[in-house]
Amino acid sequence: MADKQQPLQARDKLAFLLSLVPWLMDHDGATVSAAAKHFGMTPAQIREAVELIAVSGVPGETDSYQHEDLFDINWDAFEERDEIVITNLVAIDDSPRFSAREAAALIAGLQYLSALPENADRAAITSLMSKLSRGASSTPSQVGVEGAVATGAIDAGAEHRAVAPDPIAPTLALIRASVEHGVQLELDYLNSQGQRERRRVDPLRVESIDADWYLRGWCHLREAVRTFRLDRISNAVITDEPIQHRAGDSDVRLPDVLFEPSPDDLEVTIEVVPSAMPLLADYIPDGATSVEHDGRIRTTVRVSHYHGLKRLIASMPGVATVVAPPSARAAVQSWASSGAARYR
Partner 1 sequence: MSPSPSPAAASRVPVEERLFSLVLALLATESGLTKNEILSTVQGYRQRYSSGGDNANLERQFERDKDDIRDLGVPLETLDSPGDAGNNQTMRYRIPRGAYELPQDISFSSDETTLLNLAAMVWREGSLSGESRRALLKLRSLGVVPDEPIIGYAPRLRLRDAAFEPLSSALEKHLIVRFAYLKPGEDAAREREVIPLALVQYQGRWHLSAEEVDGGPGHGPQKTYLLRRIVGPVSTGKAVAPHLGDHAAAALAGLEAVWEDGVAEVQVVRESDAATRLVNRRGTERLESDSVASAGEERLRLHWVDANILADELAGFGPEVLVLSPPWLRGAVIARLERTAADHG
Query: What is the rounded CA–CA span in Å between residue 114 and residue 238?
Result: 23
Measured from the CB atom, the residue of 12 and 263 that comes closer to partner 1 is: 12
Query: What is the rounded CA–CA span in Å between residue 90 and residue 72?
Result: 9
One of 29, 59, 255, 285 touching partner 1 (CB under 8 A) = 59
One of 200, 226, 298, 329 touching partner 1 (CB under 8 A) = 329
336 touching partner 1, by CB under 8 A: yes
| Per-residue buried b or exposed e for 47-61, using 16+ beta carbons within 10 Å of the residue's own CB | bebbeebbeebeeee
Measured from the CB atom, the residue of 214 and 263 that comes closer to partner 1 is: 214
Instruction: Report in angstroms how near the CB of residue 172 gets to partner 1 at its nearest.
Output: 9
Which residues within the stretch 143-182 sit at the binding site for partner 1 (CB under 8 A)? 143-146, 148-150, 154-156, 161, 163-168, 175-176, 179-180
Which residues within the stretch 260-319 sit at the binding site for partner 1 (CB under 8 A)? 275, 278-279, 281, 310-318
Instruction: Report in angstroms how near the CB of residue 301 gets to partner 1 at its nearest.
Output: 15
Q: Which residues have CB under 8 Å from 122's CB, separation 6+?
A: 151, 152, 153
Which value, in Å, is the radius of gyration of the alpha carbons in the chain?
Answer: 27
Measured from the CB atom, the residue of 300 and 333 that comes closer to partner 1 is: 333
How far CA 276 is from CA of 162, 205, 211, 271, 296, in Å, comes to: 36, 30, 18, 10, 10
Which residues within the stretch 18-57 sit at the binding site for partner 1 (CB under 8 A)? 18-20, 22-23, 26-27, 38-40, 52-57
Measured from the CB atom, the residue of 79 and 263 that comes closer to partner 1 is: 79
One of 80, 123, 142, 291 touching partner 1 (CB under 8 A) = 142
Which residues within the stretch 112-131 sit at the binding site for partner 1 (CB under 8 A)? 112-113, 116, 118-119, 124-125, 128, 131
Instruction: Report in angstroms how near the CB of residue 289 gets to partner 1 at its nearest.
Output: 21
Contact segment (CB under 8 A) with partner 1 among 76-84, 261-269, 291-299, 335-343 equals: 335-343
Backbone CA torsion sign across 167, 169, 172, 178 = negative
Which residues within the stretch 79-108 sit at the binding site for partner 1 (CB under 8 A)? 90-108
Measured from the CB atom, the residue of 29 and 109 that comes closer to partner 1 is: 109
Cα dihedral 225, 230, 231, 236 in deg (nearest 10): 90
Query: What is the rounded CA–CA span in Å between residue 320 and residue 302?
Result: 14
Asked if residue 265 lies in contact with residue 209, where contact means CB atoms within 8 angstroms, the answer is: no
Which of 189-193's residues contact partners 24+ apart within 8 Å by CB, and which partners? 189/228, 189/232, 189/233, 190/232, 192/304, 192/305, 192/307, 192/308, 193/305, 193/307
Query: What is the rounded CA–CA span in Å between residue 312 and residue 307?
Result: 9
Measured from the CB atom, the residue of 179 and 225 that comes closer to partner 1 is: 179
Which residues within the stretch 181-200 sit at the binding site for partner 1 (CB under 8 A)? 190, 194, 196
Q: Is the peptide bond before 325 cis (omega within 30 degrees of 0)?
A: yes
Q: Return left, alpha or beta for 82; rule: phi > 0 is left, psi -120 to 50 is alpha, else beta.
A: left
SS3 284: coil
Instruction: Report in angstroms how near the CB of residue 317 gets to partner 1 at its nearest.
Output: 4
One of 11, 160, 223, 292 touching partner 1 (CB under 8 A) = 11
Contact segment (CB under 8 A) with partner 1 among 80-88, 228-236, 259-267, 295-303 equals: 228-236
